[in-house]
Amino acid sequence: MDWSVALPNIWFLLITVLFTGFFVLEGYDFGVGVLAQLLGKDDIEKRVYFNTIGPFWDANEVWLLTGGGAMFAAFPIWYGKLFSGYYIAFVLMLVALIFRGVSFEFRGKLGDNRKWIKACDFAMFIGSLLPPVLWGVAVANFMTGANLDQGKNLVDGFLGLLSPFTILGGIMMLLLMLVHGAQFLALKTTGELRNAARATSALLFPFAAIVTLIFAIWALFKTDIFTGNYYIGLILAVIAVVFFVVSFVLNFQGKDLKAFLCTSGTLAFLTLSVFAGMFPRAIINSNDVTQSLFIYDAASGIYTLRLMTIVALFLLPFVLGYQVWSYSIFRKRLTKEDELEY
């Protein structure tokens, strides 16, 4: 076996799994963070919404940190060029996440200080709204590729990342995560709060479906993500669409868990379709795809990748086990009468 090919392939797959987990798990976090401000009629309702994600939100962000760390260790050239090229976008996202985390932790400890509670609510709203849009713009750029120089460096600035196609990608990501968040709220609440979440999911579904359909058709003509690698990316995208349609039906039937799992499947298979279409390219060169940055050129040495693989195989079961355990422990629905920490 040629380990110089096999190990980069393995780590590209692992990074794909980590970012897929991030979009699925942090996706409903972002959705809840936005919807809590829109659906919460009073402070108690907002606190119920916040407490649905209370035990999970910080652990969900670990998937992003782990994915970024794995990219840094396994593909340092990819990491360096990507984060330097998208520097402003990632800084904006990081600032939004910081404000979101701080507001989340401090909101429940402010007592009756309405001024600071409103400030925390605003920070939570912006901190949950901005990252999905920025991630959607970033993913759309991954699909179309970047303007690379001879050293495979990204030469376009922040404004170069923005185009009608990438902005549409940002809107699509936001709408999908809002639907995902609404399904999570329907799963974790009762009574009128659950009914409001179900109605919100049903209301947002047609908008998300239309935007996603337009984006997918546009992507067919603008990128090779869906047409390369034996159409694997297209097949995975079609599966994502099927999951999304089924989620709407299940939401209408009041089957909250199955509907949430279907919206999870939507985000998971959309993410997988993008990575499958990119493979084996780390960064696509929009000027000449043959001059793209390939994972084999961006990978660390064989010894480093072997050592990382051994460590990952040892630690990954514990991480996944903890994730399953936490969701099992905090599976109950919340009501206004429960003791609310956040």
CA atoms within 13 A on the CB side of 252: 10
Nearest to 279 by CA among 238, 218, 225: 225
pLDDT given at position 151: 80
- Percent of the chain exceeding pLDDT 70 equals 97
Average pLDDT over residues 185-197: 91
Q: How far apart are CA 304 and CA 73, in angstroms?
A: 8
pLDDT given at position 154: 83
pLDDT given at position 342: 67
For the chain, list the domains and their CATH numbers.
3-328 (1.20.1630.10)
pLDDT given at position 234: 94
Average pLDDT over residues 193-204: 94
SS (H, E, C) the chain: CCHHHHHHHHHHHHHHHHHHHHHHHHHHHHHHHHHHHHHCCCHHHHHHHHHHHCCCHHHHHHHHHHHHHHHHHHCHHHHHHHHHHCHHHHHHHHHHHHHHHHHHHHHCCCCCCHHHHHHHHHHHHHHHHHHHHHHHHHHHHHHHCECECCCCCECCCHHHHCCHHHHHHHHHHHHHHHHHHHHHHHHHECHHHHHHHHHHHHHHHHHHHHHHHHHHHHHHHHCCCCCCHHHHHHHHHHHHHHHHHHHHHHHHCCCHHHHHHHHHHHHHHHHHHHHHHHCCEEECECCCHHHCEEHHHHCCCHHHHHHHHHHHHHHHHHHHHHHHHHHHHCCCCECCCCCCCC
Residue 306 has pLDDT above 70, yes or no: yes
pLDDT given at position 272: 96
**pLDDT tens figures, 130-154:** 999 999 999 999 999 888 888 888 8
pLDDT given at position 339: 67
**pLDDT tens figures, 307-339:** 999 988 888 888 788 888 888 877 777 766 666
Query: What is the pTM for the complete model shown?
Result: 0.93
Residue 121 has pLDDT above 70, yes or no: yes
Residue 184 has pLDDT above 90, yes or no: yes
Residue 341 has pLDDT above 90, yes or no: no
Nearest to 83 by CA among 70, 97, 72: 72
Q: How far apart are CA 135 and CA 84, in angstroms?
A: 16
Residue 219: what residue type? Answer: A
Average pLDDT over residues 286-304: 90
Q: How far apart are CA 59 and CA 22, in angstroms?
A: 10
Residue 47: what residue type? Answer: R
Residue 18 has pLDDT above 70, yes or no: yes
